[in-house]
Amino acid sequence: MTDRPAHMDPKNSFQGLILTLQQFWAEQGCVILQPYDMPMGAGTSHTGTVLRALGPKPWNAAYAQPSRRPKDGRYGENPNRLQHYYQFQVILKPSPDNLQELYLQSLYAIGIDPALHDLRFVEDDWENPTLGAWGLGWEVWCDGMEVSQFTYFQQVAGYECNPVSGELTYGLERLACYLQNVDSIMELNFNGGSGDAKVTYADVFLQNEQESSKYNFEAANTEMLFRHFADAEIECRAILAKGSEGNRQTMAIPAYEQVLKAAHNFNLLDARGAISVTERQSYILRIRELAKACGGAWLQTAGGGAE
């Protein structure tokens, strides 16, 4: 573990945690991407993971991604649950033989000393039905708390992954609470400062949680959201059609961005209670079909390995 100033130490600083992870993975040769500039539910949905996981080309990237889960909003009153939180995402393709060791070293780098903590790999097989993706792997537990999801992708957007990507997802707020020893996310020290210079997570995000929870649960215009969902679906297919040139695709990424819109609209509608239990499956299938089409389109581009 490198010596770092107190205000950058993950034990005192939420942004210090993010910066330390970025530095660690940069040192492993990862491209450090910035968050995708569109709302999404998880870091996996970033093109830097979901699309790059497909096709034969190697790829190593790491990034923080704000993840939006409208249904999880609690108006900032629940100590552990937010409708907007950060995941730290790492993808290594092909998965290296020492992936577990690298991951553990990243934990040591942020201050989790294996001599003191109980770290375990507990079976958990991840799947995301809207992306047509699944893999095998584990939840990583630190002293009884889940700190990461560790997955070897087997299939994404309905396509077999070859080579297989290793994906690591860290729950940053939860990890930070543990490192900083606070019981509530809002109490986290965001910038590592002290006294008047200290900025807390609440200072940064409490108002967002209050306002967004209200919007998500009480105010979102569902008629508009349904319309936008349908528009995204139509536009996605239109883009793929317009971009298709023989067996090459020239607009896979813009088409996939429509999938992100559709998925986020679905999440907002779900939070509003506008989607019944029986309809939910059909919406998920619709999004999945779009994701699969975009996955196939990506494979017809240079990024996806098409010659």
Partner 1 sequence: MPELLLELFSEEIPARFQRRAADDLKKAVTNALVDAGLVYEGAKAFVTPRRLALTVNGLPARSPDTREEKKGPKVGAPQPAIDGFLRAAGLSSIDQAKIESDAKKGDFYLAQINKPGADAITLLSAILPKILTDFPWAKSMRWGNGSFNWVRPLRAITATFGSENEDPVVIPFTSGVVTSGQTTFGHRFLAPAAIKVKRFDDYVTALERAKVVLDIDRRKDIIRSEAEHLAFAQGLTIIADEGLLEEVAGLVEWPVVMMGRFDPDFLKLPEEVIIATIRANQKCFCLRDAGGKLAPNFIITANTEASDGGAVITAGNERVIRARLSDAMFFYNGDLALPLEHSLPKLEDSVFHAKLGTQFARVERLVKLAAEIAPLVGADPERAKRAAMLAKADLTTGMVGEFPELQGLMGRYYAAAQGEPADIATAVEMHYKPLGPTDKVPTEPVSIAVALADKLDLLTGFWAIDEKPTGSRDPFALRRAALGVIRIISENGLRFPLKVDADLLAFFHDRLKVSLRDAGLRHDLVDAVIAVDSDDILQITQRAEALSALLSNADGQNLLAGYKRAANILAAEEKKDGMAYSGAVDQDRLVGAEETALAFAVDAVHASVTNHVAKDDYQGAMAELATLRAPVDAFFTAVMVNDADPVVRANRLNLLAKLRDTMHLVADFSKVAG
Q: Cα-Cα-Cα-Cα dihedral of 46, 205, 172, 193, to 10°? A: 130
The residues binding partner 1 (CB under 8 A) are 78-80, 94-97, 100, 114-123, 125, 135-136, 138, 142-145, 152, 154, 161-164, 166, 178, 183, 273, 276-279
Pick 67 or 180: Cβ nearer partner 1: 180
Which residues, other chains included, contact 162 with Cβ-Cβ below 8 Å and sequence gap of 6+?
Answer: 56
Phi and psi dihedrals of 244, rounded to 5? -80, 125
Q: Residue 215 has what DSSP assignment?
A: I
**Nearer to partner 1 (CB atom), residue 56 or residue 66:** 56
Least distance from C-beta 154 to partner 1, angstroms? 6
Q: Are 260 and 40 in contact (CB under 8 A)?
A: yes
Between residues 95 and 106, which has the closer beta carbon with respect to partner 1? Answer: 95
- Minimum CB separation of residue 146 from partner 1 in Å reads 9
Rounded least distance, CB 36 to partner 1, Å: 27
Query: Looking at this protein, which amino acid is placed at residue 154?
Result: Q
Q: Which amino acid is at 85?
A: Y
Beta-bridge mates of residue 43: none
Task: Name which of 121 and 215 has its Cβ closer to partner 1.
Answer: 121
Tell me if 297 sits within 8 A of 56, measured CB to CB: no
Alpha-carbon dihedral angle through residues 146, 150, 156, 157, given to the nearest 10 degrees: 20
Nearer to partner 1 by C-beta: 2 or 276?
Answer: 276
Amino acid residing at 9: D
Ramachandran quadrant class, 75 (left: phi over 0; alpha: psi -120 to 50; beta: rest): left
Which DSSP letter does residue 216 get? I
User: C-beta of 94: minimal distance to partner 1 in Å?
Assistant: 5
> Which residue number, 181 or 247, has a Cβ lying nearer to partner 1?
181
To partner 1, the closest distance from the beta carbon of 57 in angstroms equals 12
Q: How far is the CB of 124 from partner 1 (least distance, A)?
A: 9
